[in-house]
Amino acid sequence: MSTFDYDLFVIGGGSGGVRAARVAAGEAGAKVALAEEDRYGGTCVIRGCVPKKLMVFASSYGGMVEEATHYGWDLLNKGFDWTTFSGHLNKELDRLEDVYRKLLAGSGVTTYDARARVKDPHTVELSSGETFTAKHILIASGGRPIRPDLPNAHLGIVSDDIFHMESLPKSMLIIGGGYIACEFACILAGLGVEVTQYYRGAQILRGFDEEARGLIADSMRELGVDLHTGTNIVGMDCYRGEDDEGMDAPVEVTQYAMPAKDGPKDGPLKVKATNGDVKVFDQVLFATGRRPNSDDMGLEEAGVTLGRGGAIEVDEYSQTKVPSIYAIGDVTDRVNLTPVAIREGMAFVETVFHGNPTPVDHTLIPSAVFTQPELGTVGLTEEQARDQEPIEVYCTSFRPMQSAFADKHGRVLMKLIVSQESRKVLGCHIVAPGAGEMIQMAGIAIKMGATKEDFDRTVAVHPTMSEEIVTMRKPMRTA
């Protein structure tokens, strides 16, 4: 008989925490509790992947209607209505949250709708005042978007706020050049918002393949995004109408800038950029990165060590410095993707409740950026691979049949990076509509260690865009 209230107490009801709790309770028969202070489903379901992808779908219909007319359809496009969409979106999120709650209850997990703190290596304290002991504690508290350290940054919004907008702004400035900035630039432009994007570096999507980044940037500009690279925000303030004398003055002035309440501002904002431009936007979205939710959780007091940006330090089994405390998902800032957090949760259960130490394999993780077109990627970029060993680069770029027929200029890119020595495909990068779907399949072959010759032996599916992945015969270059 255990002397603890629970075998496992999970802090955080997002994808990783819910999966670990369900599997530990349902399959391993452990006595499990989970505390969530906000909505069940976490970032992915409530304010990330799921509502974002639904917005990607919503934003693509305008272009589809335009294309359809070239195919002979006589359609009447009366425009996009945010109120209708967000009503349906909220209902869908309610339904999904309910599914998550039922899954937990169905697995026998006790849930607490409260904020939890670690009191000591075996005790969790809830905001409700209750205290519970547990043999193991799993921290799966995720992360949150951050604003840059800039005067008046609180006037702008972050990605969490997008889904709660009462109406679509006419114009929006997006700061950043990562996943979230680029995805929302495309989504909002597709919904009819005038989008300007400032990115401080030379090219958006740092860390991805250079050629793919270039094509995505071109495609975003073609979509109507006014993308400025090498540009950042230096100041922002409330805009006080046409007589605003501050337009030519430095906008760091803060005396009159405070909004009625300490939160995002609905009225127009004027923004000064590093290139000297001062422009007015209805809204400013900061997509400038995320930070682990590890503050004020009693972690360091309990002996858990935090690394850069507050990430919980863990070993390959997701175990912290305190043997009874584990951490998974974005709060550990390893690879911040939902399926990775789920894998980490499953590996934790296997390690702790099945006595089978299971590290998480963080190599060759396929992923997609849901820009328009999408970017699907797995393995090394050309730049990473050529620093590692001699490579061949197979690459083709073309106008896809469907949109070329409708006189659209957009191009797609299919690219393979191959080791000269082992012949293994080290990386695959696809820029195309549906690239997220394609890269999942390529990811299997590459994870299995497929060589270029294995790709060549595979018969093409014709006519498709992805057939080019198996028909590129001559390397474009070696490096």
Q: Does 373 bind ligand NDP (CB under 6 A)?
A: no
Q: Which is nearer to ligand NDP, 200 or 321 (CB)?
A: 200
Binding test (CB under 6 A) with ligand NDP, winner from 29, 87, 106, 201: 201
- Binders in 32-91 for ligand NDP, by CB under 6 A: none
Q: Does 232 bind ligand NDP (CB under 6 A)?
A: yes
Nearest approach, Cβ of residue 27 and ligand NDP (Å): 28
Close Cβ partners of 332 (under 8 Å, ≥ 6 residues apart): 292, 311, 312, 313, 314, 318, 344
Binding test (CB under 6 A) with ligand NDP, winner from 177, 264, 268, 329: 177
Q: Does 362 bind ligand NDP (CB under 6 A)?
A: no
Please identify which of the residues 88, 154, 409, 462 carries the catalytic annotation: 462
Q: Does 197 bind ligand NDP (CB under 6 A)?
A: no
Binding test (CB under 6 A) with ligand NDP, winner from 50, 181, 251, 414: 181
Binding test (CB under 6 A) with ligand NDP, winner from 12, 142, 169, 178: 178
- Binders in 405-434 for ligand NDP, by CB under 6 A: none
- Binders in 280-309 for ligand NDP, by CB under 6 A: 287-290
In whole angstroms, what is the distance from residue 129 CA to residue 179 CA?
Answer: 39
Q: Does 179 bind ligand NDP (CB under 6 A)?
A: yes
- Binders in 130-159 for ligand NDP, by CB under 6 A: 148
Counting residues that bind ligand NDP (by CB under 6 A) gives 24
Close Cβ partners of 402 (under 8 Å, ≥ 6 residues apart): 67, 433
Q: Which is nearer to ligand NDP, 378 or 450 (CB)?
A: 378
Q: Which is nearer to ligand NDP, 181 or 186 (CB)?
A: 181
Nearest approach, Cβ of residue 183 and ligand NDP (Å): 6
**Which range of residues in 131-139, 196-204, 344-352, 401-409 is near ligand NDP by CB under 6 A?**
196-204
Nearest approach, Cβ of residue 206 and ligand NDP (Å): 4
- HEC assignment per residue over the chain: CCCCCEEEEEECCEHHHHHHHHHHHHCCCCCEEEECCCCCEHHHHHHCHHHHHHHHHHHHHHHHHHHHHHCCCCCCCCCCCHHHHHHHHHHHHHHHHHHHHHHHHHCCCEEECCCEEEEECCEEEECCCCEEEEEEEEECCCEEECCCCCCCHHHCEEHHHHCCCCCCCCEEEEECCCHHHHHHHHHHHHCCCEEEEEECCCCCCCCCCHHHHHHHHHHHHHCCCEEEECCCEEEEEECCCCCCHHHCCCCCCCCCCCCCCCCCCCCCEEEEECCCCEEEECEEEECCCEEECCCCCCHHHHCCCECHHHCECCCCCCECCCCCEEECHHHHCCCCCHHHHHHHHHHHHHHHHCCCCCCCCCCCCCEEECCCCEEEEEECCHHHHHHHCCEEEEEEEECCHHHHCCCCCCCEEEEEEEECCCCEEEEEEEEECCHHHHHHHHHHHHHCCCEHHHHHHCCCCCCCCHHHHHCCCCCCEEC
Nearest approach, Cβ of residue 61 and ligand NDP (Å): 20
Binding test (CB under 6 A) with ligand NDP, winner from 70, 88, 206, 409: 206
- Assess whether 462 carries a catalytic annotation: yes
Q: Does 14 bind ligand NDP (CB under 6 A)?
A: no
Q: Does 352 bind ligand NDP (CB under 6 A)?
A: no
Nearest approach, Cβ of residue 443 and ligand NDP (Å): 13
The pattern of x and - marking residues 315 through 344 that bind ligand NDP according to CB under 6 A reads: ---------------------xx-------
Q: Which is nearer to ligand NDP, 293 or 336 (CB)?
A: 336
Binding test (CB under 6 A) with ligand NDP, winner from 180, 251, 299, 435: 180
Contact (CB, 8 A) for 143 and 67:
no
Cβ-proximal residue to ligand NDP, closest one: 178
End-to-end CA distance of the chain, in Å?
A: 63
Residues carrying an active site annotation: 462
Residues found near ligand NDP in the complex (CB under 6 A): 148, 175-181, 183, 199-201, 206, 232, 287-290, 336-337, 367-370
